[in-house]
Chains A and B, each alone.
Chain A
Amino acid sequence: MIRNYTLKSALLGASLVSMASMASAEKISIAIGHQSMCTDTYTAGIVVKELGLLEKYLPTDGKYADAKYDVSWADYSSGGPITNQMLANKLNFGVMGDYPLIVNGAKFQETDSLRTLYVAGTGYNLKGSGNAIVVPVDSDLYSIDQLAGKEVSTPVGSAAWGMLLKAMQDNNIPTSEYVLKNQSPAVGAANIAAGKIDAHSDFCPWSEIMEFRGTGRKIFDGSETGVPYLHGVVVREDFAVEYPEVVEAFIKAVWEAGEWIREDPMQAVTLMEGWTGVEKEVLYLYFSEGGHLTLEPTVKQEWVDALAFNHGVLVKEKAIPPLDFDAWINEDYIKAAYADLGVDYEAEKAVVVDPLAANKGLPMEIWHSRDGVASFGTLPEFLKAMADIRATAALVNATYVYDVETGLKLFGKTAFWVKSGDDYATFLRKGEAEAYAGKTGGALVSFDEAIADFISEG
C-alpha cells in the first residue's frame, strides 16, 4: 500500500501542485453533497449550510488548533450523482434518501479500498409517508387498484419507485398489467398538471407541491406500505477515520438543525422557502408539529430493517451489489456527538413517533396570509374560522387537517370531508371517507360545502 502511494506521488508530482494545498495539514476541506429539493434532507443540508451550524461545531483545539476549514456545499437533485462524487473523493459527506443510501453503501463496498459509513439519520416517517402516488386533480381514479392498465410514471431508482413496486405487488397488480414510465419529478409534475399521465409516483415534497398547486391529488400514500421512509448521512470512511471530530461536529449540526426547526416551524419554513424555492406552505406540512417528518438523527433498529428490506427490492430489480450492513452502519460518531451535546442518545433512540398516535388530538390550522398560523381544537371551530375569513375576503395561504385513518397531516382543500350530523371528519382517501360516511350515516361534502355550513346569512 505504501509503495502504491509512493509510486503515485512520483507519477503525479508535477501536476499536483495545486492539489497539494488541499491535502496540507492546516487546511481541512469538507465537501458536502445535499439535495435542496428533497425536504427530508434539509436538517443535514440546506439548514446546516445556511445557518452555519457545521462551522459552529467544528473542532478548534488539539490537532485542529491550527486547522483552517474549507467547507463547501454542492446541491444535487438526486442521490446517485452524490455517490459518484463521493467515489471520486470530491465530496466527503452525502445526504440522501433510503434507496440511494443503500446504493451508496453497496457501490463503495464493491471497491477494493473505499468505504462509506452510515453515521446518522436526518428524519423519518415511521409508516412511509413522503412518497405518494398522485393523479391529475380531475382524474376519476381514486385508489391504487384502479391503476391496472394505466400509465404510471416514477423516477426509477428513487424511494418512490421502490414504494410503487411494493404497493403494486401488495395490491396484486403485476408489472405486466400497467405501463411504467421513467420520469423525473419535474417532468412527472408537469405531466400531472397537463393530464398527460394517469398517475405519477414521487418522493417528498413533490406530491404535496402538486396538491398545493391544485394540479394533483394523492390516491396512495407511502404510509400504506408500512415501510419506514428515512433519509440519512453517509461519510467516506477514510475521512471519518482521519477527522472523527469533524464527523461528530456534522452530527451535532444535524441535531441542532432539527431543534431550530421545532422551535419555530413557521419561521423556519419561511426561511427555507427562500433557500430552496419550495413553497413554505408545503414545507409546513413536513416540518410543523404533526407534520410528515420526525426530525431525529438516531440510528434505530427499525431503520436498519427498513434499509435491509429496500436493499432486497433493489437486488431483485437492479442486481446491485451486496451490502454488509454491520460494516456500513456506525453509531460511534453519533453517540460521541450526543455525549458532547449532553443529550441521552439511547433515550432518543428508543422513541419512535407513529403519526396515528402522536397526532391524535392535534389542532387544525389555518395559515392566514397576514396573521400567520392559528390553531383550532375542533373541525367546526376550524370551519367557522374559515367562514369568517372568507366573509372578509382575507387571504389564506393554506389550511391543515388530519386523516382519521392514518393521522397524517393534510391540506384542508385536498382532504375528503364527511359530514355526519353536526360532526365532520377528514380523510386522505375517498374510499375510506365513503366507508366512514356509510357507517355513520353521513355524506361526502367538499371543503367549500363544509365551510358554507358556517357562513351566516346577512
Chain B
Amino acid sequence: MRAMFSTLWTDIRGNWKRMLLHGLIFALLFQVLMMIALIVRFQALPNYVTGYNWVANVAWIIKSTPSWSDIPPIVWEEWLLEIGKMNYDYGMGISEWSLNVVPSRLLVLFILGATVSLCMALTRRETCSTANTGTLRATTGLGAVLVAMTNATMSWVVCCATPSWVVGLAMLGLGVSTSLAMETMGPVLTGGGFGLLVALILFLAWHKSRPEPEPIAEASHA
C-alpha cells in the first residue's frame, strides 16, 4: 500500500505541470464544446453576453447567509458569464438559451481534466497488453463522461423550471421525462465518475509499484 502511494506521489510530482495544463485546457475546451452544441442545436449564434461580479457576489452570500452549511450550495450556483440568444419576438426579449460559465463547475472540470491527465500518464506506462490498455482508456473515458455530463451548464429558458444539468440533456434531445428522472442522480453520477477515475489511478499505481516478476529460468543443457 505504501509503495502504491509512493509511486502515485512520484507520478503526480513528475506530471503536475502537465496535469495543471490539461485541467485548464479541459475546463475551457468544455465551455467551447457546449457553446458549439448550443449553436448547432438551435441553429443560431448567440447575441448577448452578460458578465457577473462573481467575487463580490460570493462575498455577499457569505456575509448574508447565517449558516455555514447553506453557503456552499448557494455559491455553487453563482455565475461568472452568460452567453446566449435573446429572442425579441415577444415582449422586451427573452433569453431563449444560454451558456452559463459557472466557476464551481469550472473547478470540477479542471479537476477532471487533471485527473484524466494523470490516468493517461499512468496508462501510457501500463504495458501489459494492448487489450488491457484499451480497457483502461475506456474506463478513463467513462469516468470523464459521467463527470463532464453532470457538470454541463447550458440552460434553456424553460420558464419557471429551476435550471439543472438535465436541461442540457433535454436540450440535446433526450426525452423530458427521462431527463427529469435522471435529475436526482446528478451527484451520484459525478461521484461515480470520479470514483471510477480514482479507482483506476490507484489500480495503475498499485500495478506499477508491484515488484517485477522474476524471469522464468530456462532449462540448462548441462
Please state if A157 and B160 are interface contacts (CB–CB under 8 Å).
yes
Please state if A89 and B65 are interface contacts (CB–CB under 8 Å).
yes
Contact flag A158-B70 (CB < 8 Å), given A89-B64, A180-B175? no
The answer to whether B222 has its CB under 8 Å from any CB of chain A is no
Please state if B160 and A96 are interface contacts (CB–CB under 8 Å).
yes
| Contacts of A66-109 to chain B: CB distance below 8 A | 75, 77-81, 83-84, 87-90, 96-97, 99-100, 103, 107
Please state if A277 and B91 are interface contacts (CB–CB under 8 Å).
yes
Please state if A158 and B162 are interface contacts (CB–CB under 8 Å).
no
In whole angstroms, what is the CA distance A84 to B78 when docked?
9
Please state if B157 and A317 are interface contacts (CB–CB under 8 Å).
no
- A residues near B171, Cβ cutoff 8 Å: 182
Pick from B1-9, B55-63, B127-135, B196-204 the stretch touching chain A: B55-63
Please state if A84 and B162 are interface contacts (CB–CB under 8 Å).
yes
Q: What string of 1s and 0s marks CB contacts (under 8 Å) between A177-208 and chain B?
A: 00111111111011000000000000100100
Please state if B65 and A278 are interface contacts (CB–CB under 8 Å).
no
Please state if A184 and B77 are interface contacts (CB–CB under 8 Å).
no
Most buried by A among B60, B73, B156: B60
Q: What string of 1s and 0s marks CB contacts (under 8 Å) between A200-218 and chain B?
A: 0001001001000000000
Q: Kindly identify which residue among B96, B158, B162 contacts A182, using a CB–CB cutoff of 8 Å.
A: B158
Please state if B89 and A186 are interface contacts (CB–CB under 8 Å).
yes
Q: What string of 1s and 0s marks CB contacts (under 8 Å) between B156-177 and chain A?
A: 1111111100010011000111
The answer to whether B220 has its CB under 8 Å from any CB of chain A is no
- A residues near B160, Cβ cutoff 8 Å: 78-80, 96-97, 99-100, 103, 155, 157-159, 161, 203
Please state if B159 and A15 are interface contacts (CB–CB under 8 Å).
no
In whole angstroms, what is the CA distance A206 to B94 when docked?
13
Please state if A78 and B159 are interface contacts (CB–CB under 8 Å).
yes
Most buried by B among A1, A19, A77, A277: A77
Most buried by A among B67, B78, B90, B171: B90
Contact flag A84-B56 (CB < 8 Å), given A77-B94, A77-B159, A114-B70? no
- A residues near B56, Cβ cutoff 8 Å: 18-19
The answer to whether B183 has its CB under 8 Å from any CB of chain A is yes
Contact flag A180-B177 (CB < 8 Å), given A36-B91, A112-B67? yes
The answer to whether B66 has its CB under 8 Å from any CB of chain A is yes
- B residues near A157, Cβ cutoff 8 Å: 158-162
Contact flag A184-B158 (CB < 8 Å), given A4-B68, A88-B74? yes
Q: Kindly identify which residue among A8, A100, A317 contacts B62, using a CB–CB cutoff of 8 Å.
A: A8
Please state if B176 and A156 are interface contacts (CB–CB under 8 Å).
yes
In whole angstroms, what is the CA distance A276 to B94 when docked?
11
- B residues near A203, Cβ cutoff 8 Å: 159-160
Please state if B162 and A19 are interface contacts (CB–CB under 8 Å).
no
Contact flag A155-B70 (CB < 8 Å), given A77-B95, A317-B180? no
Closest 6 CB pairs of A and B: A157-B161, A113-B67, A78-B159, A158-B160, A277-B91, A113-B66
- Chain B residues engaging chain A, CB cutoff 8 angstroms: 55-57, 59-70, 73-74, 77-78, 87, 89-96, 156-163, 167, 170-171, 175-177, 179-180, 183-184
A-B contact pairs, 27 of them (CB 8 A): A4-B68, A5-B66, A15-B59, A19-B59, A23-B63, A36-B92, A37-B90, A38-B159, A78-B157, A78-B161, A79-B160, A88-B77, A103-B160, A103-B162, A111-B67, A113-B67, A155-B159, A155-B160, A156-B161, A158-B160, A175-B177, A180-B177, A183-B158, A184-B158, A186-B89, A206-B90, A238-B66
13 further interface pairs, Cβ-Cβ under 8 Å (given A78-B157, A79-B159, A238-B64):
A15-B55, A16-B59, A37-B92, A84-B162, A89-B64, A155-B160, A156-B176, A180-B175, A180-B176, A185-B159, A186-B96, A187-B96, A276-B91
